[in-house]
Copies of this chain bind each other. A is one copy, B any other.
Amino acid sequence: MTAQDAYRQLLTIVRERSTLESVAGLIGWDERTYMPPKGGAHRAEQSSLLARLGHEMMSAPRVGELLAQAEGSELTRDPDAPEAANLREIRRGYDRAVKVPARLVAEIAKLCALGQTIWQDARKKSDFAMFAPSLEKMVGLKREEAQALGFADRPYDSMLNDFEIGATTSEITKVFADLRAELAPLVAAIGASGRKPKKEILAREYAVDRQHLFAQNAAAAIGFDFAAGRLDTTVHPFCSGHGPGDCRLTTRYDLHALNQGLFGTLHEAGHGMYEQGLDPAQFGTPMGTAVSLGIHESQSRLWENQVGRSRPFWEHFFPRAQQMFPGTLEDVGLDDFLFAINSVERSFIRVEADEATYNLHIILRFEMEQALFGGDMKVGDVPAAWNERFRAIFDMTPANDAQGCLQDVHWSCGGIGYFPTYTLGNLYAAQFMEQIRSDLAGLDDDFRRGDFRRLKGWLNEKIHRRGMQFRPRDLCRRVTGKTLSHEPLLRYLRQKYAAFYGV
């Protein structure tokens, strides 16, 4: 067999595996949208069978043999060529599938299902002690996983890598430290400013069916293709791509919180446009797959914040919002509306945080989980350590653990190393946007006309169509000419809040 033949067979295998994963994604979407309540137990059976079959496909010895035949051939001569990228990432997936024992995978999956329920209860009762044994066990299992996967420097690198290929603790530590050093004083200055937004504007009564229409129109206007997607409502919003032509967003509406459903939709639409922008001809191969959670988050944050909270965007949409909600926004001026949707306020809950303080919440989690995973912090010490760090950053103390270390689901399901991708997303988004503004003159005029095609086209070409050709940091360097830095995000935030808060 030639290296070419081996390569083609590998692509067939990974495509089938991805097709199976796209089915798993779809039944996961159904589980959270339309599944009848009694369907849960069987749905778990279906999901676990699909996961097992997909793992069997990917970890078959045949995959290793084919990889060995294709690697080191002319296909990998140019490391930037699509074939080389595909082989590099298939190798990574195969090694991962083979290195982690099936027993460990099963144990983590089981503890995830169990741990989530326990965490929910613990959060409801604000009782960390209830959750501590599950967390202890999960950290242990994830440490085992890190050992099995291997790592260059620290075991926590292996956790980061699972969500952001190529990320290292040392690199993120540096960028986050730089960010924190300038962001914390900015947030403090905003807190001290005498100017305050009229937040009640967003808490008026906004009919939910009209919110849905408005959100759907906005998502379509920025370029989400509804012939290849949907928008439904769920308790926890998400975006889920199920292969070419089928990407689904969800959001939630609150009668008295216009921003929640709308910005939630723009956020998920940003994710969705990444999925819709992947090359359908490459479906199922690394070249047709989103490269990392951080880059994915950059797309959602870019559309939600850099675009969706900007003045030019609302110069187009504000009159439309006034029409959509008659009698509700007529007495409001654009300036007051913009200030309200760009309000900054220290708060306890990450998912409710604004653009500026959000990153401080992430930095706290990044530090916490490093210490926890590295063994410098005992599970029993988590609540006290959380509160102490929280005070250091925000100068406030959570009233209880539900408001503190119990607020997020991630750890209960083994998502250690996940949090940093949120702030990486903000950093990438700002860095991309600076480059975009330099590449595309007059972009704000596009927005003022409700025309987002040039921006979408740029993202399609520079980010989406690349799939996994380049790893995230490399992609960032190629696209912006610079290594990832905290500066663009800070410049963006400083400029924005100078206008609103006079800081």
Contacts and interface: CB of A to CB of B under 8 A. Distances in A.
Given A19-B49, A20-B49, A27-B23, A36 B246 contact: yes
B36 A50 contact: no
Interface string A312-343: 00000000000000000000000000000000
Given A30-B30, A49-B16, A53-B53, A245 B38 contact: yes
Interface of A: 16, 19-20, 22-23, 26-27, 30, 34-43, 45-46, 49-50, 53, 225-230, 242-248, 283
A244 B34 contact: no
A16 B50 CA distance: 10
Contact of A43 (B40, B53, B246, B283): B246
A37 B227 CA distance: 5
A242 B34 CA distance: 13
Given A19-B49, A45-B19, A40 B245 contact: yes
Contacts of A245: 36-42
B243 A38 contact: no
A357 B196 CA distance: 75
A15 B405 CA distance: 42
17 contacts: A16-B49, A19-B46, A20-B49, A22-B46, A23-B49, A26-B30, A34-B34, A36-B230, A37-B228, A38-B227, A38-B228, A38-B244, A38-B246, A39-B228, A39-B244, A42-B245, A46-B243
B50 A23 contact: yes
Contacts of A16: 49
Contact of A38 (B35, B53, B225): B225
Contacts of A40: 245
A246 B49 contact: no
A277 to B, nearest CB: 14
Given A20-B49, A34-B230, A53-B53, A246 B42 contact: yes
A36 B53 CA distance: 27
Contacts of A38: 225, 227-228, 244-246
A366 B103 CA distance: 55
Nearest to A22: B46
A201 to B, nearest CB: 33
A429 to B, nearest CB: 27
A51 to B, nearest CB: 12
Contacts of A49: 16, 19-20, 23
B34 A46 contact: no
A226 B39 CA distance: 11
B30 A46 contact: no
B283 A36 contact: no
B243 A36 contact: no
